[in-house]
Amino acid sequence: MEASFKSTLTDKRQRYVQFLEQFAPLIEGEKNEISVLANTSAALKEAFGFFWVGFYLVHEGELHLGPFQGSVACYRIKKGRGVCGTAWAEARTQVVPDVDQFPGHIACSSLSRSEIVVPMIANGEVRGVLDIDSDQLATFDETDREYLEKVVDLLVKTLYKPA
């Protein structure tokens, strides 16, 4: 299977709509968490050119680095620490226009300037987070929040729905 997620569309909302149309069949029926998250990271990076995109998964009381695309990253994040740990603790999306202004920000890369983190919630429990960084300030807005939450919702329904 070869799929290209590159888009010539310039409108962000339209690009997300197109992405979701292509993304749904990519993960449909797949149950291997690491495989699905790896392809999700690659597809999002290809489609939007994000600086860093990947997942942290809850394991033994911490977030552990999962599949990602970009430069090397922190291995573990404690609950409530940094943007990812806050998204986990609060079970809600975090949109950070300037990471240097976020209390307790964890600088895995000094080039990261803004960030969005969307928790993956299944059966009332955060299973992990989708973390996306930009090397530009104020990259992420309500459109990103809306559509990345839809991406995560699709992931959760595919990977974690009760058997």
Residue with tokens 């997300």: 16
Give me 95's structure tokens: 């949109």
Nearest in space to 152 (alpha carbons), one of 13, 8, 18, 27: 27
Q: How far apart are CA 129 and CA 22, in angstroms?
A: 22
Average pLDDT in the chain: 93
CB contact at 8 A, 148 and 130: yes
pLDDT at 56 over 60: yes
Residues whose CB is less than 8 angstroms from the CB of residue 17 and which lie 6 or more positions away in sequence, other chains included: 147
Specify the pLDDT at position 104.
Answer: 76
List pLDDT tens digits, range 60-103: 999 999 999 999 999 999 999 999 999 999 999 999 999 989 98
4 pLDDT band (50/70/90 cuts)?
A: confident
List pLDDT tens digits, range 11-41: 999 999 999 999 999 999 999 999 999 999 9
Give me 162's structure tokens: 């009760």
- CA–centroid distance for 18 within its chain: 18
List pLDDT tens digits, range 124-154: 999 999 999 999 999 999 999 999 999 999 9
Q: How far apart are CA 65 and CA 143, in angstroms?
A: 26
